[in-house]
């Protein structure tokens, strides 16, 4: 039945003077990479991925296991639709836009380790989809991971970096938890155990070694990368906001090639927004 429909469609197009062909894209599409934050996963960008699919993006996924091994769990089908006919004799085509979600199985590991994994992932993505450039959308700690990747590698393969409430200058929450260790012994033991189990809780503290290392190297940030930083304005908790606006806009100390925005939502809600208006507004459309 499917072959019959294709045959009939071909007849109609032939009579109208046009033909349509579909082929694996060879024009180097530029994927958009989604990086989640601490404790994130495949569902972090659930709303955004659905909105991308609704506007005809191909959506793929790459899983990084606990040992840093790369497994492509979903290869997006990237095609080019080519219409041959009057006004398009040279067969120019429309390439399927592409999004690849990166999922860290160990979603509480250090910024340093996750940056190494991002390097592996981007090598795999660029090879799989035959491209030299990517855009990155990063939520929370994902923005720090992307920043470290750029500083470590030069970031010549990054065109645009969009951060969503990323604590570039550190987060108040892990810093607050660290301060609680002085309250009583039980809290001290529990928090110390959590910090040893989840290195990211230490890295995300204001003035942590990891945060200071990035800031000291800020002059090395690739100034050709277009940066768009969003800050959430609502508190996640009554007593403390997870990320201050100043920290979420911290990349302004790294580059002047940056646009700064705020959004009336909380830290966890900022990644649940639809992709299309988010990106359109970011780019000033």
- Counting residues of the chain whose pLDDT is more than 90, the rounded percentage is 42
- Mind listing the pLDDT tens digit for each residue in 164-211? 999 999 987 645 444 444 444 544 444 454 444 567 778 988 889 999
Concatenate the DSSP letters of all residues of the chain into one string. Answer: -HHHHHHHHHHHHHHHT-EEEEEE--S---PEEEE--TT--TTTTHHHHHHHHHTT-EEEEEEE-TTS-EEEEE----EEEEEEBTTBTT--EEEPPEEEEEEESSTTS-HHHHHHHHHHHHHHHHHHTT-S-EEEEEETHHHHHHHHHHHHH--TTEEEEEEES--TT-BHHHHHHHHGGGT-HHHHHHHHHHHHH-HHHHHTBTT-HHHHHHHHTGGGS-TTSEEEEEEE-S-SSSS--SS-HHHHTGGGGT-SSEEEEEESS-TTTGGGS-HHHHHHHHTT-
pLDDT tens digits, residue range 219-244?
Answer: 999 999 999 999 998 887 655 678 99
Residue-averaged pLDDT of the chain: 77
- 29-76+97-282: CATH number: 3.40.50.1820
Whether residue 122 is predicted with pLDDT greater than 50 in this model: the reply is: yes
| pLDDT greater at residue 248 or residue 17 | 248
Domain range summary for the chain, segments of one domain joined by +: 29-76+97-282
Q: For the whole model, what pTM was predicted? A: 0.79
């Amino acid at each position: 039945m499917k072959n019959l429909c294709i045959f009939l469609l071909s007849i109609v197009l032939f009579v109208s003077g046009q033909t349509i062909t579909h082929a694996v894209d060879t024009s180097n599409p530029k994927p958009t990479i989604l990086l989640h934050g601490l404790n994130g996963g495949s569902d972090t960008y659930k709303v955004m991925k659905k909105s991308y699919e609704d506007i005809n993006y191909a959506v793929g996924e790459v899983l990084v296991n606990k040992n840093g091994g790369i497994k492509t769990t979903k290869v997006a089908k990237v095609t080019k639709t080519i219409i041959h006919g009057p006004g398009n004799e040279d067969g120019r085509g429309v390439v399927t836009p592409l999004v690849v979600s990166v999922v860290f199985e160990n979603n509480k590991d250090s910024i340093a380790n996750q940056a190494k994994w991002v390097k592996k992932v981007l090598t795999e993505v660029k090879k799989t989809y035959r491209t030299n450039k990517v855009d990155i959308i990063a939520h929370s700690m994902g923005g720090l991971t992307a920043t470290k990747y750029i500083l470590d590698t030069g970031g010549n393969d990054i065109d645009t970096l969009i951060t969503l409430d990323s604590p570039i200058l550190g987060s108040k929450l892990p810093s607050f938890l660290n301060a609680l260790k002085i309250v009583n012994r039980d809290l001290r033991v529990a928090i110390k155990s959590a910090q040893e189990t989840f290195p990211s809780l230490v890295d995300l503290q204001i003035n942590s070694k990891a945060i200071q290392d990035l800031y000291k190297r800020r002059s090395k940030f690739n100034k050709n990368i277009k940066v768009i930083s969003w800050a959430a304005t609502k508190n996640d908790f009554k007593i403390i906001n997870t990320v201050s606006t100043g920290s979420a806009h911290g990349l302004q100390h790294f580059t002047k090639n940056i646009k700064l925005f705020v959004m009336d939502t909380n830290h966890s809600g900022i990644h649940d927004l639809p992709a299309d208006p988010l990106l359109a507004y970011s780019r000033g459309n």
